Amino acid sequence: MFRTLTKIRRLLRMARILAVHDALVPHEYARFAPASLRMAARFLGRPKRFERALLPGERLAQALEQMGPSAIKLGQLLATRADLVGPEIARGLETLQDRLPPFPESEARRIVETELSRPIDQVFSAFGPPVAAASIAQVHEAQTTDDPPSRVAVKILRPGVEAEFVRDFDAFRFAAGIAERYSAEGRRLRLNALVETLAASVALELDLRMEAAAASELAENTRDDPDFRVPTLDWSRTNARVFTMEWLEGIALRDPEALSAAGHDPKRIAVSVLRSFLTQALRDGFFHADMHPGNLFVDARGRVCAVDFGIMGRLEPAMRRFMAETLAGFLARDYMRVAQVHFDYGFVPKVHNVETFAQALRAVGEPIFGRTARDVSMARLLEQLFDTTRRFDMQLQPQLVMLQKTMVVVEGVARTLDPAFDIWESSRPVIENWMVENLGPEARLRDAADGLTSLGKLAQNLPQVLRDTEIIASQLADGGLRLHPDSVRAIATSQLRRTRHVRVALWIAAGALGILAVGLL
C-alpha cells in the first residue's frame, strides 16, 4: 500500500509540472477532455506565461525537461510515437534537449577514484572540467599516464541517478498498467511493453560497462567497413560508473560548412550515414540508435565516426527480414507484397482483408514517387504508416521502436548535409544486397541445410513425441483431457476477468488521478 501511494505521489508531482506548463490538458484540446480532468488540471496549477507562444508539444518538452532524467528519456521515445501522442505533439517533442547542468568536477574525481580503486593522478596525468553533461552522465577530457600518454574522453555517471530512475519507472509502470487495464487503446498500443522497452534501454545506459561492451561489439561488426569507425576503448579505465575511450579528432556533422572547408563532400557523407545505419540494422541486427549530429563526426580520412553508445538497437533475424521485405516492397511499389508480409508475420489480424490493406499502403506509398527527393520525408511517411496500421489493428512491435526513431534522426542528419538527399535511392543498394544474400538461391540452400539439422533434432525426440501423442489419444478416448487443478483454476479466473464490463477510456483514468490530486492539495 505504501509503495502504491509513493508511485501515485510521484505521478501527481509530474501532473503538477504538466499542469503548470499547460501540458496536462492543453488549452487547444481542453474541449475534448472529461470535465473531471479539466477541473483537476485547474487545481493542480495555473499555467505560467511564456515569452513566446509555444505549441503543445513544445510545452510538453519543457515540462519533461523540468521533471528530470527519466521523463526526458520518456519524451525522446514518445517523439517517435506519433500514433500515441499525435503528429503535432511528436514534432514538438523533437525539441526536447537531453542537457542538464554538470555536477562538480570534484565529485567526478571522487567517483573515478572510487570506481577504479586508485588515486586519480595514477590513472590520468591530466583531468579537465566537464565538456558535456546530459541526463545520465557527463564527459571530461583527460590524458592517461601511459608512455606515451593518450588523449581520452572519460564518461562518468551522475551521482544517485540509478535510484531516481528506479522510482520513476515504478511510477511509469503503474500508470501504464492502469491504462492497459481500463483502455482498449492502451492495450492496442502496448503501453506496458513500451515502458519495458524504455526501461531495458535505460538499464543498459546506467551500467557504463554495458555501453563499453556495445561499443566493442559495434567496432567488431564494422571493422572492415570503409566509411564507418568506432573510437578505441580503454578497458583498463572503465567500470560500471566510468567509461574511457579514445578522444575523437574530427568535425561534427552539425557543421556542414566546416566539413566542406576541410575538403569533405557533405553529400557523400550523407549517403555514408544512411548506409552505415542500414547495414548495421540489416546485416548485423545491432545498430547505433542515437545517431544525432552531436554523436557523429568525420575524421581526416572522411570516415563517419560515432560516439555515445548508451542507446543501441537490436533486430532479430525475423524482424530484419520483415524490415527488408517491407522497404523492398515500397521501393518496387509492390504494395500487395508489403501487405502480405504484414499478414505473414501476424502483425495485422487476419480478420482484415489483405487487398484492402494493400490499397491503404498504396495510398501511403504512391505520393512518394514522382516527387522530388527534397519533398519526401521519412518522418512523414512513418506518420502516415502509424495512422494506417492503427486502422488495421496492428500492434506496436517493441523491437522496431528504436529503428523507427533512428531512421527519422538519420534522415534529418542526411538532409542537413544535403537538402536534396534521396533517402530511397541511397538505401536501395543496401536493401537489394541484403535481399540477394539472404533470400537468394545460396541463402535458400543454407536454409535447407538448417532445416535438415532441425529435422534431425526432431527425429531424436520422436520417441517422446509419440509417447505424448499416445497419452493424449488415450485421454480423449477415456472421456477427454484431464487438466491439472491449478490449470482449471487459472482458466476459470481468466474467464471471469473476461466478463468484466469495465472499458474506461484513458482520459477517464487520468481524470481519476487528477481528482485524487485535488484531494491531496
Q: Give the domain CATH number at 130.
A: 3.30.200.20
State how many domains the chain has: 3
Q: Which three cell numbers stand for residue 260?
A: 566542406
Q: Which three cell numbers stand for residue 466?
A: 509419440
Tell me which of 394, 414, 439 is where a domain ends: 439
The amino acid at 411: E
- Establish if 450 belongs to a structural domain: no
Bridge partners for 124 per DSSP: 144
In a shared domain, residues 302 and 330: yes
- Establish if 458 belongs to a structural domain: no
Let me know if 375 is a catalytic residue: no
In a shared domain, residues 114 and 223: yes
The pLDDT, as a whole number, for residue 235 is 96
- Establish if 482 belongs to a structural domain: no
Q: Strand, coil or helix: what is 246?
A: strand
Bridge partners for 142 per DSSP: 127, 152
- Establish if 471 belongs to a structural domain: no
Q: Nearest to residue 95, comparing CAs of 115, 76, 77, 74? A: 76
- CB atoms closer than 10 angstroms to residue 317: 9
In a shared domain, residues 280 and 337: yes
Q: Which residue has the cell 566493442?
A: 216
The pLDDT, as a whole number, for residue 17 is 86
Q: Which three cell numbers stand for residue 387?
A: 495512422
Residue among 22, 168, 290, 308 flagged as catalytic:
290
Q: How far apart are CA 62 and CA 97, in angstroms?
A: 9
Q: What are phi and psi of 497, to 5 degrees?
A: -65, -35
In a shared domain, residues 89 and 17: yes
Q: Which three cell numbers stand for residue 50?
A: 511564456
DSSP string, 431-487: HHHHHHHHHSHHHHHHHHHHHHHHHHHHHHTHHHHHHHHHHHHHHHHTTSPPPPHHH
Angle at 467 between CA 463 and CA 468, to 5 degrees: 120
- Establish if 494 belongs to a structural domain: no
Q: What are phi and psi of 226, to 5 degrees?
A: -70, -20
Which H or E run contains 306? strand 304-306
pLDDT truncated to tens, each residue of the chain (521 aa)? 667 777 788 878 888 888 888 877 777 766 666 666 666 666 666 676 655 678 888 888 888 888 888 888 888 777 766 656 777 787 788 777 777 889 999 999 999 999 999 999 999 999 999 999 988 899 999 999 999 999 999 999 999 888 888 888 888 888 888 878 877 767 776 788 878 877 887 887 889 999 999 999 999 999 999 999 999 999 999 999 999 999 998 999 988 889 999 999 999 999 999 999 999 999 999 999 888 888 999 999 999 999 999 888 889 988 888 888 887 887 788 999 989 998 988 888 888 999 999 999 998 888 877 666 566 666 566 667 767 777 888 766 666 766 877 887 888 889 889 988 888 788 888 888 888 888 766 555 555 555 555 555 555 555 555 555 555 455 545 554 444 444 434 433 443 343 333 333 334 444 444 443 444 44
Q: How far apart are CA 59 and CA 56, in angstroms?
A: 5
- Establish if 476 belongs to a structural domain: no
Q: Which three cell numbers stand for residue 436?
A: 540477394
- Establish if 376 belongs to a structural domain: yes
DSSP string, 49-77: P-SS---HHHHHHHHHHHH-HHHHHHHHH
Tell me which of 439, 461, 493 is where a domain ends: 439
In a shared domain, residues 139 and 217: yes
Q: What is the CA radius of gyration of the chain?
A: 26
Helix ranges (H only) for 287-373 are 317-331, 335-344, 354-365
Give me the torsion for CA of 155, 160, 164, 166, rounded to 10°.
Answer: 80
Sign of torsion, CA 221 227 231 232? positive
In a shared domain, residues 287 and 399: yes
In a shared domain, residues 310 and 331: yes
In a shared domain, residues 307 and 403: yes
The pLDDT, as a whole number, for residue 501 is 35
In a shared domain, residues 37 and 178: yes
- Establish if 25 belongs to a structural domain: yes
Which H or E run contains 176? helix 161-182
The pLDDT, as a whole number, for residue 13 is 82
Q: How far apart are CA 252 and CA 250, in angstroms?
A: 7
The CA distances from residue 128 to 120, 154, 321, 358, 426, in Å, are 12, 10, 46, 58, 41
Q: How far apart are CA 211 and CA 220, in angstroms?
A: 14
In a shared domain, residues 56 and 72: yes
The CA distances from residue 237 to 145, 155, 308, 314, 446, in Å, are 11, 11, 16, 27, 43
Tell me which of 247, 276, 310 is where a domain ends: 247
The CA distances from residue 512 to 2, 37, 302, 515, 516, in Å, are 19, 8, 56, 5, 6
The pLDDT, as a whole number, for residue 70 is 82
Residue 142: domain span: 99-159+207-247
In a shared domain, residues 182 and 141: no
The pLDDT, as a whole number, for residue 466 is 57
- Residue 106 contacts residue 112 (beta carbons within 8 Å): no
In a shared domain, residues 78 and 38: yes
